[in-house]
Structure 1
Amino acid sequence: MASPHLYLVDGSSYIFRAFHRLPPLTNRHGLNVGAVYGYTTMLWKLAESLHKADGPTHLAVIFDASAKTFRNEMYDQYKAHRPPPPPELVPQFPLIRDATRAFSLPCIEEEGLEADDIIACYAKAALKQGWSVTIVSSDKDLMQLIEPGLDMLDTMNDRRIGRDYVIEKFGVPPEQLGEVLALMGDSVDNVPGVPGIGPKTASQLIQDYGTVENVLANVEDIKKPKLKANLIEHADAARLSRELVRLVCDSPLPEPLEDLAMKGIPDAPLREFLDYHGFKSLIAKLDGGSARATSNDSTSPAAMPRQQEVRPEPEIDRSSYETVTDEAALDRWIAAAFAEGRVALDTETDSRDCVSATLVGISLATECGKACYIPLEHGGHDLLNDRPDQLPASLVLSKLKPLLEDPATLKIGHNFKFDWVVLDRRGIKVAPLDDTLVMSFDLDAGGLNSHGMDDLAKKHLDHDCLTYKEVCGTGKSQITFNEVSLARATEYAAEDADVTLRLWTRFHARLAPEGVTRVYQMVDRPLVAVVARMEREGVKVDREGLQGLSTEFAHQIAELEDRICEEAGCKFTIGSPKQLGDVLFDKMQLQGGRKGKSGTWSTDVNELERLAKDGVPIANMILEWRQLSKLKATYTDALVQQINPDTGRVHTSYSLSGAQTGRLSSTDPNLQNIPIRTEVGRRIRDMFIAEPGHVILAADYSQIELRLAAHMADVPELKHAFSEGADIHNITAQELFGEVNRDTRASAKTINFAILYGISRWGLAGRLGITADEAQAMIDRYFERFPGISNYIADTLHKVRDLGYTTTLFGRKTHFPSIKSKVQHERQGAERAAINAPIQGTSADIIKRAMARMCPALEAEGLGAVRMLMQVHDELVFEVPEDDVERASTVIRRIMEGAAEPAVTLSVPLGVEIGTGPNWGAAH
């Protein structure tokens, strides 16, 4: 009789694999059960396949009982950086345990131990009794356990893992793997390791010395100075890491080995479990029917546009994607997209500049796992390079145009404004559309995750995308995408469309349950095409004027450098923080300097402004030198280089996920950072000019954040002042100081805005040049006169501590992971940001709604020639034909003042100030 064979299933890895493989599903009770369904089918498949293969006699599924274990007592930062599980997955954890028990399989977890430790204890106990053991997992930590009689089964890749695999992958046998893992550390679990030591170095060290302790004992023999220094400095971390990766193997077993005997898949209670959740296709399988789900399943993907079958998504397989090079195949894919009612797409170009890039190819995905790439301009870039077979671009675009403009077919993209411009330049106006980047931002803005596709694929799909660098190379050997082979291009491009569709199924299902539908549908989704159109429009700049400013700034910078060095008494590199710090605090002996962790003097803006307030002349000169140098490099020099040769205009790039409160940000050039109140900033704005026969029109919301604060905090005095058109800063000055003059009004203005940003007593003291106690008395007085503001701040902080996020009037969430941080400055920073986020976020929502409504309103009035060029904070900038200024101003003011309605009715009016001129500076 064969000896018993124990299978130990790493339940946690199964849960996350199931979650990432399925679109979001809800059962008839309204519960999220996508991971439950996927886990149930995977466990069923495992039990069936194993029974047919080599007949395991015993099986158990092992889970983590809690996030805290003995390793956290050993090292409080262990797994500290691991993000929390997705909120829609957490409620499914107990249901997955129910599923395990429904199969009459042991479901084992133990407080204080990780699942890996429990697996290790069972494995060693079974081996001791002469059993065979297989661990169902691909976790590298568990590979330490491999020995004769024990192997691992990686079900994702359908392979067995044994001693030879470990040696090939890590360069050492399983019994030494823990030593390698300790030296290299683990960023996911926050095992520190030794900085600078990766897998190869760690493997070589253990091959040479055998153990971590032997490496440290022989550190003087190591030839590489940096490696030697790191090992000496981080010896304690290496020893700690060795203990953190060491598996517990001798803890008492929660259940006896004999109780893990397999008894076959039972009819009950499995049938009861499947029936409760409405898994009819699995009930049919229990009855001996097909395992394939049907459209009658009472569990269905949430918010899908057409009824879909309930089935796990196929694994991402790049080899399954199709390269479309004939017309019949193209027609087939277009027909499939029409039939589905939605299609994910992505464009590939030879440049990141969407305004001038050549369209190299287009990828489509109609179902998860079903994607194609349509090459258009590959090869033929020189005489030695043949052009592969491709359909003519004109033919492809003419056939795709009806699909991409069809109002009944949803187009799905990631950072879709780029693709919109690329296709708009070719006469295709894509609509309607969904953007997974914007969806992700609306769901998880504020420190929860990056919104790039590769990062989202890793987080939500547990998949590593093929990177652009892997396809096109880097440095001197880098090629453009039109030089990539069709096979490789198809893998990369079609994967993007496939991943985008998979992300969409998850994000679309989360919008309503998480209360994000309103802000996505009413604010951000309509803005994608609007911002794309603005980027394509661009703005004209004065080339000769910019060159003249650059020359002038260069002279001023040189003069400042001479004066600074003369004041310092020596020549030095002003742009070097170290040299500057040495001059200011060592040579000149200026007082109050502070050193950073590196031991060099700080010369940041706060330090220089402190010195300037103390009357140190050189500090003011350095601040002026820095500003001029930055403006010259960022604007007067760079703008000339950024003029598009085809359009003669500068085309900025707006980020729809740049600021966590929802504000747009821009790059190349960054329009948000041009100084507003300085003469130099005005002169740069003068360089943004109108085309002949046109003027620049700037429309700016007046004190919108203060108006929103008055509404949201329900402050009668402020609401009345805004309704009457009174000067709000005068009102505050009178309330706080009992009189209104130039000084009290200036202080009141500072206080009005500073309070809304959660300023501290020390911050306000620094701005007003008073003591901290005086600043605190002023803050107390402000709250006494305007208690609504105080109540608003207290309520906001209470909610954000409870929920972890704030919301705007339109439902935009901004998450603050550090709101409960034990590190004081992190927590206080999160609190300050949280106070302002609902106000600044609502302001951003309002101007976005104005932008989305603007072009249709102008066109309805016969003003289609008016072009919206830029959005900068609370300001919209237009280029208007001279004869249309008056009519355009009326429409623009009406749209901006009423942008919040009807979704939100404000108790204060929104004021809009409009100016016009030949350039932006004159209009501002």
Structure 2
Amino acid sequence: MPEHDPLEAGDHVVLIDGSAYIFRAYHALPPLTRSSDKLPVGAVAGFCNMLWKLVRAQGFSPAPTHLAVVFDKSEQTFRKDIYPLYKAQRPDLPEDLRPQFPLIREATRAFDLACVEQSGFEADDLMATYAELAKAKGALVTIISSDKDLMQLVDARVRMYDPMKDKAIGTEEVFEKFGVAPEKVVDVQSLAGDSVDNVPGVPGIGIKTAAQLLAEYGDLDTLLARASEIKQTKRRENLIEFADQARLSRELVTLKRDVALDVPLDDIAVVEPAGGKLIAFLKAMEFTTLTRRVAEAYGIDAAAIDPDPGLKAGGAETALVAAGIDPESHAAAAADNDMAIPGAAPALTPQALTPQALSAARVAQGAATPVDRSTYETVTTLARLNQWIARAVEIGVVAVDTETTGLDPMQADLVGFSLATAPGEACYVPLAHKGGDEGLFSEGLLPGQIPPAEAIAALKPLLEHKGVLKIGQNLKYDWLILKRQGIEVAPYDDTMLLSYVLDAGASPHGMDPLSVRWLGHTPIKYEEVAGKGKSAVTFDRVAIDKASAYAAEDADVTLRLWRVLKPRLVAEGKTTVYEQLERPLVTVLARMEARGIMIDRQLLSRLSGEFAQGMGRLEAEISEMAGESFNPGSPKQLGDILFGKMQIPGGRKTPTGAWSTGADVLEELAEQGHALPRRILDWRQLQKLKSTYTDALPSYVNPETGRVHTSFALAATTTGRLSSSEPNLQNIPVRTEEGRKIRKAFIAAPGHKLISADYSQIELRLLAEIADTPSLRQAFQDGLDIHAMTASEMFGVPIAGMPSEVRRRAKAINFGIIYGISAFGLANQLSIPREEAGAYIKRYFERFPGIRAYMDETRAFAREHGYVETLFGRRCHYPDIAAKNPSIRAFNERAAINARLQGSAADIIRRAMARMDAALARAGLAARMLLQVHDELIFEVPDDEIGATVPVVREVMELAPLPALSLKVPLKVDARAADNWDEAH
């Protein structure tokens, strides 16, 4: 550091709380990434703008002679040595903020301001020490922060300034806040504690009560010594019982004013910024506007200055800070190899590191670090479990997995859980394993297991700890299991969803295939420990040693996968998709599943009888058409009748030599005019409705809740659409009378109604938006009948008095175009000649040329890149789009064209779902979101809240694209309330 004149009486020392500035900058601006490499820089931009305003138009009197931006260097301070749980519940840093901290330090240096931090101490301690030294020399001190902990420093020569409220803080403001003078603030905080920093204090005593007690007894020590005199029983007992806790709290909240500073006070003297260095930094960050302002202020030609080479896109230091690694400390550690992880890949070198290279290096490290099951531990005592929990809190990241007796999270029992805190550092905690004697199972628990209630009580603070990130694979299941134990897991990441965001359609997202792909490791299969077929047992019957190896490995592999996949989000620019469209849905869907929906069992029983009678009638017709009786459910018998006895042309055989009688074959034959295949399809439809719904739905009723709890799958489709299972509620047909009857069986609870809120023609609206078709877009804006408008455009028929048949044809074309319908398909659908259907499609593209251009552009992009993207950045992969087989290639092309529309629609309803519960809560409404079926949401609402609920639901859904995207074509939501799902739809 250059030498400066020593501080003198009358000088003005300004100390900026760097952390406060960072968080203010982060929350003041929307997410921002550097365009060249998608590095998050929103907080850096806000910080630089705030710092520029400060140094150019300070408004301080007198002007600062000394100025420093003071940061926290690390979380491990002397306070943690005193009390390990200090600040233990601080939330984890947002993923896009973490890499910006080192860049903000670089920004401070670029402004030629002192950037101060010191191991073992918090920024508050450093500011307190600077303030004490400055006061001793007769200087004035201004601390720029809103942190209440710093108010203990305020006196005649030390003041604070809250930049959030543009408010000066002196002794009067401190008294207004705490009810005491600044010198008593520590005593108040010692009694009241601080939930934000996890300072315990004394239970039952808040700031107001603490101030009253200190006004009466003078100070903390006197109060504690005379606590037995206090009349209020509970207050007296708490002060006596928790006296040591109050004294501990005083140690935690008292700022150190005598730190041996690494950067002396004289070295933070103000110097004029070197404009060139600042411009080089700003250009590297690609902050165009601020670069221009700085250049104008200093009279510098910005074009003549190159971006800082170490910080520009692709620069080594930028890549390091993107990974959350300080460049200086990394270089030093790499030199002496202190940062090397045993068994890990070699340390990353700054020369080769970019966000993309970091991701690749993590992949290499994952594959290079073998899985060693011998290192896993079985935890059998509460004391040891608490040590694992403390380790997880210290690290701030833990993978968690549950083992249960079944696949239904609403009914399965918890058998045990596993934790992993680092690669190869994993354990299993058995809770409810049962024994056996000579092949006969015992209901008694095996010895060496922690009582479940005690283990859950110990686990709950960790899994709800805001400062510890929990990692899971298909975490929704574990979330529901743990929710039934009274635990709400947060915050969290899900490796299945990370993979889904990055590789939807390109590869599977289950843990086992992910492990093979990214770690080169094949995990233990479930049937290897639980058996299969008749010999299969539930997990509570698995021997604890086998269960430990299996379960601990699951947690270990999950953590390793997270380390590999999470960096890819930044490297591939998919952080926003994950944060806004995927991760929030874990808890949204889990809560929906837990709520369930009621069904009318009697109605289903009657329907089952009706369907059985209908099947009987169809079987009689089928036998008559075939000239003999046969089982219409037998593919072999059906194939022999159709292609053997009846000699219907067009049959094809499967690889096994049997006739193919799939739905596609029967549909094609029916479209050609063959009656028997049509009857078979009708029979199959009734058979499916009967077996899948009317017969099966009652078996899904949960005996405890009396409701059906479907399971939603987040990562099951390429486009982002949800699917459901056990039971599948997505495939109930809505265009047939029978399907609508089944929907009647889904009912509201007494005193409630079901509200169905459905996006109207959302994919057509998105087609008009994406394909930039003015006439279609205008029709939606004007609220016209889109099918009538299309018919009018194509056939020259006035909308008024239009024949229904003309509108029906336009409707078939509108929806058919989305799904890539062919002339053959349209001809069959409308029962018209293929030439006429082809002419309709040709005329459609002539009237709406933007749609043809959209389809051609999408097809070409998908062929080149192997994927398409939705309006919100979701990537849908179609690796077979370049297949040599023409039919496979054509199928993938049609799917890719549709994916941009269907995927964007799926993203929109996901955005709506993520916001819905909070919107309903803000409105004070008791409505509960129960189901999502494609473009529809179903709610259960008290009868007297229907009128208030519908507008809230409609607004959330229609405004869901904002603020990320402002659509030119308005979204429209139809919402109705009724006693059952069919009537509400």
Same fold (TM over 0.5): yes
Q: Which residue of 2 aligns with 1:761?
A: 823
**Alignment deviations for residues 696-737 of structure 1 (CA, whole Å, 9 cap, x no partner):** 111000000000111111111111100110011011111111
Quick check: 1:281–1:292 contact (8 Å CA) kept in 2? no
| 1:888 counterpart SS class | helix
The 5 Å alignment of 1:623-642 reads 623-642=681-700
Whether 1:414 aligns to 2:469 is no
Q: Which residue of 2 aligns with 1:93?
A: none
| Cα 1:613/1:733, change in 2 over 3 Å | same
| 2:868 counterpart SS class | strand
- Take 1:488 and 1:532, find their aligned partners in 2: how far apart are those partners? 30
- Take 1:290 and 1:883, find their aligned partners in 2: how far apart are those partners? 64
- Take 1:289 and 1:585, find their aligned partners in 2: how far apart are those partners? 67
Whether 1:577 aligns to 2:632 is no
| Cα 1:549/1:712, change in 2 over 3 Å | same
Q: Which residue of 2 aligns with 1:915?
A: 976
The 5 Å alignment of 1:372-383 reads 372-379=427-434, 382-383=441-442
Q: Which residue of 1 aligns with 2:499?
A: 440
> Residue 449 of structure 1 is aligned with which of 475, 500, 507?
507
| 2:937 counterpart SS class | strand
- Take 1:552 and 1:596, find their aligned partners in 2: how far apart are those partners? 35
Q: Which residue of 2 aligns with 1:92?
A: none
The 5 Å alignment of 1:166-565 reads 284=336, 298=350, 314-379=369-434, 382-383=441-442, 387-446=446-505, 448-565=506-623
Pairwise CA distance, 1:921: 1.0
Q: Which residue of 2 aligns with 1:177?
A: none
Whether 1:723 aligns to 2:723 is no
- Take 1:589 and 1:314, find their aligned partners in 2: how far apart are those partners? 62
> Residue 889 of structure 1 is aligned with which of 920, 939, 950?
950
Q: Which residue of 2 aligns with 1:652?
A: 710
Letter in 2 for 1:399: A
Pairwise CA distance, 1:790: 1.1
**Alignment deviations for residues 374-430 of structure 1 (CA, whole Å, 9 cap, x no partner):** 111112585486522111211111122121112221111010000010011111111
**Alignment deviations for residues 540-563 of structure 1 (CA, whole Å, 9 cap, x no partner):** 111121112112211221222122
| Cα 1:343/1:301, change in 2 over 3 Å | farther
Q: Which residue of 2 aligns with 1:171?
A: none
Pairwise CA distance, 1:294: 11
| Cα 1:388/1:291, change in 2 over 3 Å | closer
Whether 1:689 aligns to 2:747 is yes
Pairwise CA distance, 1:770: 3.2
Quick check: 1:689–1:696 contact (8 Å CA) kept in 2? yes
- Take 1:293 and 1:665, find their aligned partners in 2: how far apart are those partners? 39
Quick check: 1:578–1:601 contact (8 Å CA) kept in 2? yes
**Alignment deviations for residues 556-599 of structure 1 (CA, whole Å, 9 cap, x no partner):** 21222122112222111111122112223332344554444544
- Take 1:561 and 1:903, find their aligned partners in 2: how far apart are those partners? 55
Pairwise CA distance, 1:769: 2.8
| 1:427 counterpart SS class | coil
Q: Which residue of 1 aligns with 2:168?
A: none
Quick check: 2:663–2:681 contact (8 Å CA) kept in 1? yes
> Residue 865 of structure 2 is aligned with which of 799, 803, 808?
803
**Alignment deviations for residues 798-831 of structure 1 (CA, whole Å, 9 cap, x no partner):** 2111211100011100111111111111111111
| Cα 1:30/1:700, change in 2 over 3 Å | closer
Pairwise CA distance, 1:330: 1.2
Quick check: 1:690–1:918 contact (8 Å CA) kept in 2? yes
- Take 1:581 and 1:311, find their aligned partners in 2: how far apart are those partners? 55
| Cα 1:513/1:638, change in 2 over 3 Å | same
Pairwise CA distance, 1:365: 0.7
| Cα 1:870/1:798, change in 2 over 3 Å | same
Quick check: 1:696–1:920 contact (8 Å CA) kept in 2? yes
Letter in 2 for 1:370: E
Pairwise CA distance, 1:619: 3.1
| Cα 1:622/1:363, change in 2 over 3 Å | same
| 1:315 counterpart SS class | coil
Q: Which residue of 2 aligns with 1:793?
A: 855
Quick check: 1:410–1:434 contact (8 Å CA) kept in 2? yes
Q: TM-score, normalised by structure 2?
A: 0.63
Quick check: 1:535–1:653 contact (8 Å CA) kept in 2? yes
Quick check: 1:285–1:291 contact (8 Å CA) kept in 2? no
Letter in 1 for 2:787: H
Task: Show structure 1 runs of 5+ residues with no match.
Answer: 1-28, 33-274
| Cα 1:734/1:341, change in 2 over 3 Å | same
- Take 1:891 and 1:872, find their aligned partners in 2: how far apart are those partners? 19
- Take 1:588 and 1:883, find their aligned partners in 2: how far apart are those partners? 62
- Take 2:341 and 2:829, find their aligned partners in 1: how far apart are those partners? 75
> Residue 609 of structure 1 is aligned with which of 636, 661, 667?
667
Pairwise CA distance, 1:470: 0.4
Pairwise CA distance, 1:612: 3.5
Letter in 1 for 2:728: N
| 2:571 counterpart SS class | coil
Quick check: 2:380–2:430 contact (8 Å CA) kept in 1? yes
> Residue 826 of structure 1 is aligned with which of 888, 898, 913?
888
Letter in 2 for 1:531: L
The 5 Å alignment of 1:107-122 reads none
- Take 2:610 and 2:690, find their aligned partners in 1: how far apart are those partners? 10
Quick check: 2:666–2:678 contact (8 Å CA) kept in 1? yes
Letter in 1 for 2:863: R
Task: Report the number of matched residues.
Answer: 649
Quick check: 2:355–2:571 contact (8 Å CA) kept in 1? no
| Cα 1:682/1:805, change in 2 over 3 Å | same
> Residue 858 of structure 1 is aligned with which of 911, 917, 920?
920
Give the stretch that moved more between structures: 846-855 or 772-781: 772-781
- Take 1:742 and 1:384, find their aligned partners in 2: how far apart are those partners? 68
Q: Matched residues, percent identical?
A: 52
Give the stretch that moved more between structures: 765-774 or 456-465: 765-774
- Take 1:530 and 1:683, find their aligned partners in 2: how far apart are those partners? 29
Task: Show structure 2 runs of 5+ residues with no match.
Answer: 1-35, 40-326
| Cα 1:659/1:291, change in 2 over 3 Å | closer
**Alignment deviations for residues 13-42 of structure 1 (CA, whole Å, 9 cap, x no partner):** xxxxxxxxxxxxxxxx9999xxxxxxxxxx
| 1:809 counterpart SS class | coil
- Take 2:343 and 2:611, find their aligned partners in 1: how far apart are those partners? 74
- Take 1:408 and 1:384, find their aligned partners in 2: how far apart are those partners? 39
| Cα 1:292/1:617, change in 2 over 3 Å | closer
Pairwise CA distance, 1:607: 3.6
**Alignment deviations for residues 252-299 of structure 1 (CA, whole Å, 9 cap, x no partner):** xxxxxxxxxxxxxxxxxxxxxxx999886665479x999999999758
Letter in 2 for 1:413: G
| 2:775 counterpart SS class | helix
- Take 1:636 and 1:872, find their aligned partners in 2: how far apart are those partners? 19
Quick check: 2:712–2:725 contact (8 Å CA) kept in 1? yes
- Take 1:564 and 1:293, find their aligned partners in 2: how far apart are those partners? 68
